[in-house]
């Protein structure tokens, strides 16, 4: 059986009071299994955790099968009812040497979530074309308090020529914000 221990700080002089509200309802407060300072709840819509990642290594594709772009980030929600707002910016989206286009999508683990652009670089000819950066945002309900990984994938829409992401070492970013459910 776990116990709760309240340990005073000898160097402080303030008094902390734990007070219950005026309520006729029994309530249970469950503490997270975390060390250090933490914030697990807030008002509905409050952001309680932010994770950010960047990636700048070029990737290319000649296949219609989706492949990872290298842009990825993981977050462990403090509550399974909370949501995760995913903001991403995929740099260096380009196609070259074929009558093709690129496709880009966002995933949680292996589950497709959102496809912000399914025809980047399309010119209806074999010339080079790029759209530079594709950005997107998606509000996800992962229904988990375990680690959740988000990533982007791309492909070569028609399998001709080559499609790219992070061409010329463009830097892509992904930011995950845990939002208290409402």
Q: What is the residue extent of each domain of the chain?
A: 47-179
Q: Is domain 47-179 annotated with CATH 2.60.120.760?
A: yes
Look-up of token digits 């260096």: 92
Going by the DSSP 8-state scheme, the letter that residue 126 receives in this structure is: S
Give the model confidence (pLDDT) of 81-129 as tens digits.
999 999 999 999 999 988 889 999 999 999 999 998 788 888 888 888 8
pTM confidence score: 0.76
Average pLDDT, the chain: 88
Query: Which CB contacts under 8 angstroms, 24+ apart, belong to 111-115?
Result: 113/86, 113/138, 113/140, 113/150, 114/138
């Amino acid at each position: 059986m776990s116990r709760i221990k309240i340990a005073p700080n000898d160097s402080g002089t303030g008094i902390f009071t734990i007070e219950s509200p005026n309520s006729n309802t029994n309530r249970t407060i469950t503490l997270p299994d975390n060390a250090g300072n933490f914030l697990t709840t807030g008002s509905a819509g409050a952001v309680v955790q932010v994770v950010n990642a960047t990636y700048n290594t070029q990737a290319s594709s000649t296949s219609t099968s989706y492949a990872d772009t290298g842009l990825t980030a993981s977050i462990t929600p403090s509550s399974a009812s909370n949501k995760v707002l995913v903001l991403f910016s995929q740099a260096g989206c380009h196609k070259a040497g074929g009558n093709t286009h690129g496709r880009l999508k966002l995933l949680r683990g292996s589950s497709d979530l959102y496809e912000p652009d399914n025809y980047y670089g399309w010119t209806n000819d074999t010339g080079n074309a790029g759209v530079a950066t594709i950005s997107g945002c998606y509000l996800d309900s992962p229904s988990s308090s375990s680690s959740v990984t988000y990533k982007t994938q791309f492909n070569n829409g028609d399998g001709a020529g080559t499609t790219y992401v992070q061409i010329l070492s463009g830097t892509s970013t992904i930011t995950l914000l845990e939002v208290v459910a409402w």
